Amino acid sequence: MADANKTVRYFAKATGHVQGVGFRMYIQQHAMELNVSGWVRNMEDGSVHMELQGPEDRVEQLMD
């Protein structure tokens, strides 16, 4: 079970059909709603890289 009092930082890479479909914007908007900070970038290889930081329970909710 995730801890709401523990701050974590996750690095992730999404692959497949993730560019040109609003995936990056979805992650950014959902992260703002959950008060999670970080960045999301489209990469030249077609993947999306992200760094997400915040309360463990919220970061895990975003990653699910």
Active site residue 9: no
Active site residue 5: no
Which residue in the list 9, 24, 41, 58 is annotated as catalytic?
Answer: 24
Token representation of residue 5: 């009092």
3-state secondary structure of 37: strand
Q: Is 42:53 a contact under the CB 8 Å cutoff? A: no
Which residue in the list 5, 9, 42, 58 is annotated as catalytic?
Answer: 42
Catalytic residues: 24, 42
